[in-house]
Copies of this chain bind each other. A is one copy, B any other.
């Protein structure tokens, strides 16, 4: 059996390794706000359990089993977020901390029921893909809005990472997933973009915001 705490380490490691395939003790330490020696000994424990590849002074990796387990926790997290938004009426900026707790509930039937009631959704309210019941996750081919160029018309597909403040900001600008964004202008000095979407014309977005918005180049159906 795997503890609540261990689950949190696995999940963070999953997220950190999803980019380069590995992560450092320091990364995890900062992410969880837990001191390095604690992380270090936990990594040894998870290695003992066959979930993590640990070698002294080397970056950490997940084993296949560890990755699958982590994906299943993330599945529970994202299904919960979707449920909270779609069925309970929460805003997309309110659901993260509740889902952080519910993701540890041990009751497969509970999450299966959510999945069913939601009609087997593929993404969470922030556009992140929901792993399937085997821990497999669909890879998107989205790009950062900040990597697009003037004249592009793209579809807003996901917010990543999605902090509460950013989500509130997006809501205040009526920026929601699925919208077509037309890039009107790019300010070379600070990287800010001027875009049009929905009923909004020439809204200015800072480069920091644009970095966190994922879009698809070919207007996709949602």
Q: Which A residues contact B (CB, under 8 angstroms)?
A: 84, 87-90, 94, 97-98, 101-102, 105-107, 109-110, 113-114, 117
Q: How far is the CA of A102 from the CA of B107 in the complex (A)?
A: 10
Q: How many copies does the complex hold?
A: 2
Whether the pair B113, A89 counts as a contact (CB closer than 8 A) is yes
A113 touches B101 (CB 8 A): no
Residues of B with C-beta under 8 A to A101: 105-107
Q: Are B106 and A90 in contact (CB under 8 A)?
A: no
Return chain B residues, CB-CB under 8 Å to A109: 90, 94, 98
Q: Given the complex of chains A and B, what is the CA–CA distance between A106 and B101 in angstroms?
A: 8
Nearest B residue to A114, CB-CB = B88
Residue on B nearest A105 in the bound complex, by CB: B101
Considering residues A84, A90, A98, A117, which has the most beta carbons from chain B within 10 angstroms of its beta carbon? A98
Contacting residues, chain B, for A113 (C-beta < 8 A): 88-90
State A101–B109 Cα separation when bound (angstroms). Answer: 14
State whether A117 touches B88 (Cβ < 8 A): yes
Q: Which residue of B lies closest to A110 (CB)?
A: B98
- In Å, the complex CA distance between A114 and B88 comes to 8
Contacts of A90 on B, CB cut-off 8 Å? 109, 113
Q: Given the complex of chains A and B, what is the CA–CA distance between A177 and B140 in angstroms?
A: 49
Known: A90-B109, A101-B107, A102-B105. 10 other contacts (CB 8 A): A87-B87, A88-B113, A88-B114, A89-B117, A97-B107, A98-B105, A98-B109, A98-B110, A101-B105, A102-B102
CA distance A177 to B70 in the complex (A): 42
Some 8 contacts from A to B, beta carbons below 8 A apart, are A84-B110, A87-B87, A88-B113, A88-B114, A88-B117, A98-B105, A98-B107, A101-B106
A114 to B101, CA, bound (A): 16
Question: How far apart sit A94 and B112, CA to CA, in the bound complex (Å)?
Answer: 14
A101 → chain B closest CB, angstroms: 5
In the complex, A87 Cα to B106 Cα: how many Å?
A: 20
A164 CB, min distance to chain B CBs, angstroms: 13
Q: Which of chain B's residues have a CB closer than 8 A to the CB of A102?
A: 102, 105
